Amino acid sequence: MVMENKADVVIVGAGIIGCAISYYLSKRGKSVIVLEGSDNIGNGGSSRNGGGVRQSGRDPRELPLAMYGIKELWPTLSEELGVNCEYHKEGNLRLGKTPEHLKILQGLTDRAVACGLDVRMIDSDEVKEINPYLSDEVIGASWCPTDGHANPMVTTLAFYKKAREMGVRFITGEKVERLRKVKGRLRKVYTKENEYEGEFVVVAAGYESREILGTIGVDVPMHKELCECLVTEAEPHMFNQMLGTAEADFYGHQADHGSFVFGGMSGLELNNKDCGPVNSPSNAAITAPCICRGIMKYFPALEDAKIVRTWAGYLDICQDGVPVLGFVDEVPGLVVACAFSGHGFGIAPAVGEQLAMLIDEGKTAVDISGLRYGRFKAKI
């Protein structure tokens, strides 16, 4: 049987963004084909990140999406998708140990407050009250009580599972090589063996979006950076907050399973040797030990927690640190959702829902105009 390779929307990339868009489109009655270059759903950043569902520390341009998602979508997501995404909305602590740290945190806090976010600076006593396991050296933190975390691997696969049940056609191992306009509109997507056609084509392929978009003359200024995570054995339950530090030594949380998931970098990433393919980069030998030292500075109680696994993933870092989302005026039919710069997971449901709306209705409920493709200009 030859399947019709046509749908209302063809999505390139089955990460959490592609899966979420496909689910919300399908809810709106659209037919969708999702093409994934690797063999696994959610193989890039979607399954390699630290699971933060944060608003604090966000750029004002993407903050509305983050706030919208946490208010409207995350609380009922597990129920909606029929899979426990392990979502916890129990706050984010960004920790500081020096006056310089507090200065950084104060700056972040001031900007967020200006955007209407409930975030404030707290002193060491209050930090200890929220999380008694932290080092006595912590002198303060920024505290956003409505932030939280979820399980990124499960959430990605939950979107996939639900979308698949609703009839979205997912094809893995189908690497997109070229996009093509037909009669004034981007319609066609070519892989090595096959071609696909849609009224809209969404490119949500992480860093690889750049090469794919290049085939239609669109360039998103981004680079890739290797970030690494580690996970410990299950430990007795300690806390439910998401954690970070002023100096970004590490970030992470304790999962429902009991294990701690922490991410971080060595500081050498920008010029580090290429660690291999986008879908299975190897760890750098020095990074996980560095993350461990970062954690122990704040969490001496975890020094005996045993690490069972480490992994690496590429961030698709945009020139200005926020994603590129939405229509590209010069190429009708094209929708871009990439360059999430390492904070795409938390906003993924909102991005999925809003881009589905954009495709269906031509407009969004949340203002994403600051994230449009055409924003990049020379400095002078």
Partner 1 sequence: MSRISEHPILGKKEEGREVEFTFDGQKMKGFENEPIAIALKANGVMIHRYTKKEHKPRGLFCAIGRCTDCVMVVDGKPNIRTCVTPLKEGMVVNTQDGVKAVGM
Partner 2 sequence: MNTVVDRSIDIGEFIAQPDDDMLICRCEEITKGEIRKAVHDGMWTLTEIRRYLRTGMGLCQGQTCSRLVKGIVARELGVSPAELEPATARSPMRPTEMRIFGTEEV
Partner 3 sequence: MKRYEVIIVGAGPAGLSAAIEAAKKGLKVVVFDENDKPGGQLFKQIHKFFGSKEHHAKIRGYKIGEELLKEAGELGVEVVLNATVVGLYPDKEVNVRINDEIHHFKGDTVIIATGASENMVTFPGWTLPGVIGAGAAQTMMNIHGIRPGKKILMLGSGNVGLVVSFQLLQAGCEVVAIVDAAPRIGGYGVHASKVSRTGVPFYLSHTIKQVHGEDCVTGVTITEVDDHFAPIPDTEKFFEVDTVCMAVGLSPMSQLLKMAGCVMEDNPKRGGQVPIVDEYGETSVSGIFAAGDVSGIEEASSAMIEGKMAGVCVAEYLGYIDEEEKDSLLKVFDADLNSLRQGMFAPKNRGKLIESTEEGIEISKNLLKKGYVKDDEIERFPGVVHKSGVHPVIECTQNIPCNPCQDACKKGCISTGKNITYLPFVKDGSECINCGMCVASCSGQAIFLVNEDCGDGSATVTLPYEFFPLPEVGTVGFGLSRKGEKLCEAEVVSVKSVGAFDHTNLLTMKVPKEYAMKARFFKCS
Question: Which residues sit at the interface with partner 3, rule CB under 8 A?
Answer: 273, 275-276, 282-286, 289
Map residue 135 onto helix, strand or coil. Answer: coil
Q: Cα separation of 229 and 251, whole Å?
A: 9
Amino acid making up residue 1 = M
267 binds, among partner 3, partner 1, partner 2, none (CB under 5 to 8 A by kind): none
Beta bridge partners of 186: 181
The stretch among 109-117, 229-237, 279-287, 324-332 that binds partner 1 (CB under 8 A) is 229-237
The nearest distance, CB 328 to partner 2, in angstroms, is: 28
Q: Cα separation of 298 and 239, whole Å?
A: 14
Q: Are 164 and 297 in contact (CB under 8 A)?
A: no
Q: Are 245 and 66 in contact (CB under 8 A)?
A: no
Amino acid making up residue 190 = Y
Give the chain's radius of gyration (CA, Å). 20
Q: Based on CB atoms, which residue is closest to partner 1, 183 or 237?
A: 237
The nearest distance, CB 374 to partner 2, in angstroms, is: 34
275 binds, among partner 3, partner 2, partner 1, none (CB under 5 to 8 A by kind): partner 3
List Cα–Cα distances, 146 to 95, 149, 253, 310, in angstroms: 16, 10, 15, 29
Question: What six digits make up the tokens of 71?
Answer: 């208010």
Please tell me what DSSP assigns to residue 301: G
The stretch among 141-149, 232-240, 263-271, 349-357 that binds partner 1 (CB under 8 A) is 232-240
Q: Based on CB atoms, which residue is closest to partner 1, 306 or 363?
A: 306
Does position 258 interact with partner 1 (CB under 8 A)? The reply is: yes
| Residue of 183, 192, 273, 306 that binds partner 1 (CB under 8 A) | 306
Map residue 107 onto helix, strand or coil. Answer: helix
Q: Cα separation of 291 and 229, whole Å?
A: 8
Beta bridge partners of 71: none
The nearest distance, CB 272 to partner 3, in angstroms, is: 10
The nearest distance, CB 299 to partner 1, in angstroms, is: 16
Q: Based on CB atoms, which residue is closest to partner 3, 214 or 289?
A: 289
The stretch among 3-11, 92-100, 184-192, 231-239 that binds partner 1 (CB under 8 A) is 231-239
The nearest distance, CB 232 to partner 2, in angstroms, is: 7
| Phi, psi of 322, rounded to the nearest 5 degrees | -130, 155
Q: Based on CB atoms, which residue is closest to partner 1, 225 or 235?
A: 235
Q: Based on CB atoms, which residue is closest to partner 2, 40 or 215?
A: 40
Residue with tokens 């129990």: 90
Does position 236 interact with partner 1 (CB under 8 A)? The reply is: yes
Binding site for partner 2 (CB under 8 A): 3, 37-43, 47, 153-154, 156-157, 160-161, 164, 167, 169-175, 191, 193-194, 230, 232-234, 257, 280, 283, 286, 288-290, 292-293, 295-296, 302-311
| Contacts for 164 with CB less than 8 Å, ≥ 6 apart | 170
Q: What residue ranges bind partner 1 (CB under 8 A)?
A: 233-236, 258, 304, 306
